[in-house]
Structures are given as structure tokens and as C-alpha cells.
Structure 1
Amino acid sequence: MPEPVISLEGLCKEFPTDPPVRALSEVFLRVEPGDYLAIVGPSGSGKSTLLNVLGLLDRPTSGSYRLDGIETVSMRDGARTRLRGSRIGFVFQSFHLLAHRSVAENVQLAEVYGKHQRKGRRARALRALERVSLSHRVDFLPDRLSGGERQRAAIARALMGEPALLLCDEPTGNLDSHNTDAVLDLFDELRDQGLTIVVITHETEVSSRAMRRVRITDGLLVEE
């Protein structure tokens, strides 16, 4: 049986204020390969802290976080960075596309800081863009794209490294309803292809499309 993509056991995160603030409290979560999970909660609930921990951008205070079977809590920073780059694709509310670079060039930037061969980089970017149905926009600059197309370009960039996990932070927050539907349809397609997706959102329309939903309130996680 394959390892879960995400396994959290007794995860806690405290910030050393006076008094200390516990942002995550004894979190247990298991995400299997091919799961599509929505994490919902109001502002201040711990969503952003959990996102940072799942994305290996921050360390928990205690507990265990295994990504693809690898314990991450005790890893050195360099090893965490390499694991993050090879196993996690990020999609954010803001698309983070460079205005003076074409869509294909923006997608290729996903490999610039990793140990990827330059040979074949454009071909890999074109395959990623085909995967998100954006082949007809490869040489466009981002300002010629709709909001939904920009987000699809950002998703293609996140898919470049064949990640085990697509981690999405309010991915439709800057989109109108039409483009939101298009991006959610794409997530459905990627899930059907076997990709593991975790979406952090406060939007019911977004969370209702996921296979599972968990709610976080005051650092406590409860499956709905």
C-alpha cells in the first residue's frame, strides 16, 4: 500500500509571544495519493500557518509531518528546500507571472532554481501548458490573458516538476465566477489524472468541489 502524501500526527505550532500563541493544536491529518482535499476556516483560524507547514515553509513546534513517507520535521533546511522543490507545486491567489516574459517562459522558470537539465525545458513547459489547455497562448505575455488563463499558466508552472502534491492557497480569490468554474474544472481533471490536491479556501463554491473537506477553527482541525 503506498505511503500517504501527507501524514500529520499531533502537530502543534506555537509562536513565542507573551503569552505564547498556539496557532495549530494537536493536528492529525492523512491525505492519500489522488485525494482532493479542501481546508476551510475563517481568518485567524490557522489556515495560513497550516499552509506554511504543509509547504515546508515553516516548521511545527512539535509533532510529526511526513511527506511521501519522509519525516520532514527534523530535516535540515537545505534538505527541506530540495524536498519542497521536488515534491510540492504551489498555486497562489496572485499568479506571480513575470509581465515581460511569455507564458512558456514563465512556466519554464519553475526549473531555473532546481537541478533540472536545460535540455528539453521548453518541451516540458509546452507539455504542462497542454495539460491545462493553454497551448494556444504559449507565446503571449501575461497581460494578454484573462484572469483564468493566468491562473492556468501558474498551475502549469506548478506542474513542471511532476509534484506529488499541488498545494493551493485561495486559488480563485482573484477570479470572477466564470473563471473560477474553469479553474475548478481543471482541478477535477487533474484529480482524475491522479494528482493529489489540497486547496485552502474560505469559499463554499470552491470547497464543495473537493472530495473531502476539513475545517480549521482556532488551530483545531475537524473533518466534515
Structure 2
Amino acid sequence: MTSPPTPHLFDPEIQQALDLAGIFVFAISGALLAVRKNLDVFGMVVLAEATGLGGGVIRDLIIGAVPPAAFTNLGYFLTPLLAAGLVFFLHPQVERITRAVMVVDAAGLGLFCVTGTTKAHAYHLDLTASATLGVVSAVGGGVIRDVLAQEVPSLLRWDRDLYAVPAMVGAAIVALLFHFHAFTGVGGGIAALVTFVMRLLAMRYGWHGPRAWRRRSARAEVAQEI
């Protein structure tokens, strides 16, 4: 049984280059966390690979696109290794440009939520499931990274800038375009841009998700326990 064709936002060669760039930046974040956790070079490689490829692997396994693209495209597998090697030797310099890395990470977030949604839809999932897997493609690697490093996943922490929400918006836009039979490369690019801009604004203005309604302050909770 042949795999259904997946719509591309750009020319396939350009799309692959953008995919590899996104994987590289995601992998950088995994390798940097390994350095902060004082892990050895193997730990750095594991976190880099998991962060760069984890979301796409989960998506492909769920939709039945096996073996996952990460295991059939050597470039996908080698790119996190390159990122881990760079961080291994130059982590102080990479840490100094973390802000720039986060900007490129935001671009990767926008690209992956769109391409993940389009690929899931190409495998005949309904629009809600397709959008969900688009978000998984974009943020799944980061969740795996944090779990392996024994940290609360960043996207679940109220004190971190919005991350999953921009990806949800971008994936929802793509799903709506499919619903109205209006998906094009331009529309997908706009969805990716919206995600990118939302993430940058969240970083710039410190946007956080709301916590439980009328939640008591931590100080009050501590006082009551005492």
C-alpha cells in the first residue's frame, strides 16, 4: 500500500531544507539542556535527537507512516548529531545567542505545526485529529526532552511564555483551510507566520496561560499548611 502524497508548502527541496533547519534548532535546545543537567556526550546526543525528531516520530507512528521519516531520511537523523557536536564544543557561545536561537525555534514551531497538520490530513484523519497531530509535531520533541531530563515540560508550566498555544492556532488555521477546501502553499505559509508572530509576541511581552479561576496564592496555601 502506497503512502498518500503529502501537500507541500514549498518546493520539496526547500521544504526539506526548512525541516532540517527546524530540527537543528530544536536539537540545539535539547543539547543545551543536557549541558545544564551536566550530562555526558551520549546524554547530549539523546536529548538532541529526541527534541529534534520526537514530535515527527510520534505523529508518523500514529498515522501509520512507517517507518517514520526520521529513520528513512539520513539527513533528519544526522542533523541532531551535528547540533549536539556544536553544543559539545561551543556551548558557552551558543548560550550567548540563546535569544536568536529562540527566534529560529519560533519559526520552526510555525513550520512544524503546519506540515504536521497537512501530513496527518493527507493520511485521511479528520480535521480535529489532524490539527492535534500538527501540535504534537511541533511540541512533542520538547516534551520528550523535558521528561528525559526529569523536568516538568515547559509547555505545562504557567511561568513560561506561551508555546503550545501559538502552535494550536496555526494548526487550527490549516484545519479550517482544509475544511473550506482552500488550503494552498500561501495559506499554509500564513498559518506558519501567525504561529511565529504569536510566539515572538509571547516572548516579548511575557504572555502566560491563565491558571485556575480564583486560585489561592502560594503564600496563602503555605500559611494554611503551617
Q: TM-score, normalised by structure 2?
A: 0.27
Q: Which has the higher helix share?
A: 2
Greater relative CO, 1 or 2 (CA 8 Å, sep 6+): 1
Rg comparison, structure with higher value: 2
Larger strand percent: 1
